[in-house]
C-alpha cells in the first residue's frame, strides 16, 4: 500500500499537468474548428495532443515527429488520392504508405496515420494541409514546449 501511495505522489503532479494541458489544447482545437467552419472530426490532433502532453520524452512526441509525421502522412494521402482516387483500398494503401514514409524519414508519429485516411476518405484538398494540418502541428509543438517548460518551472 505504501508503494502505491509513493507512486501516486510521484506521478500525480505530472498527470494533473498533462490532463490540464490536454484540456486546454482540446478546447483551443474545438474553438479553431468552429472558427474555421470545419467539423471537429476533421481536425486530426486529439491523439497527438494526448501523446505530446503525456509522454513528452517519447520519440513520437518530439517536434520533428509531430510536425514531420503529420506532413509526411498527409502527403502520402494526397499522393494516393491523386493516383488511385477514393476507395476503401486507396484509404488502406494511403495509411500503409504513410507508416512506411514516417518510418524511413524518422518522423514516426502514429496519430498522424489518421491524416491520409481523412484525406482520401473525405477527398480533402490541399487547403486541409495548409490551413489545418501544418498550422495545427506547429501550434501544438509550440504549446507543448511552453507547457512543459512551465511544468518544469513549477515542479522545481
For residue range 21-55, list pLDDT tens digits in order. Answer: 989 998 888 888 788 777 766 678 899 999 999 99
Could you tell me the pLDDT band of residue 104, with boundaries at 50, 70 and 90? very high
Neighbour count for residue 47 (Cβ, 10 Å)? 14
Cell 499537468 sits at which residue?
A: 17
Encode 2-32: b = buried (16+ Cβ within 10 Å), e = exposed.
Answer: eeeeeeeeeeeeeeebbeebbeebbebbeeb
Query: What's the pTM?
Result: 0.88
What is the distance of C-alpha 123 from the center of its chain?
20
Predicted pLDDT of residue 41: 67
Range of 55's domain?
2-155
Q: Give the Cα separation of 71 and 68 in Å (integer).
A: 5
Structural domain total, the chain: 1
Q: Give the Cα separation of 50 and 144 in Å (integer).
A: 10
Amino acid at each position: 500500500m505504501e508503494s502505491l501511495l509513493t507512486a501516486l505522489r510521484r506521478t500525480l503532479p505530472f498527470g494533473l499537468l498533462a490532463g490540464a494541458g490536454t484540456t486546454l489544447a482540446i478546447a483551443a482545437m474545438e474553438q479553431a474548428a468552429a472558427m474555421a467552419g470545419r467539423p471537429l472530426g476533421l481536425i486530426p490532433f486529439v491523439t497527438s495532443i494526448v501523446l505530446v502532453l503525456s509522454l513528452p520524452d517519447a520519440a513520437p512526441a518530439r517536434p520533428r515527429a509531430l510536425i514531420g509525421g503529420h506532413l509526411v502522412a498527409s502527403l502520402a494521402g494526397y499522393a494516393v488520392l491523386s493516383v488511385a482516387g477514393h476507395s476503401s483500398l486507396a484509404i488502406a494503401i494511403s495509411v500503409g504508405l504513410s507508416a512506411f514514409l514516417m518510418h524511413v524519414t524518422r518522423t514516426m508519429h502514429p496519430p498522424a496515420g489518421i491524416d491520409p485516411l481523412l484525406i482520401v476518405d473525405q477527398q480533402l484538398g490541399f487547403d486541409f494541409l495548409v490551413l489545418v494540418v501544418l498550422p495545427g502541428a506547429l501550434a501544438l509543438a509550440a504549446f507543448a514546449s511552453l507547457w512543459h517548460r512551465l511544468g518544469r518551472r513549477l515542479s522545481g
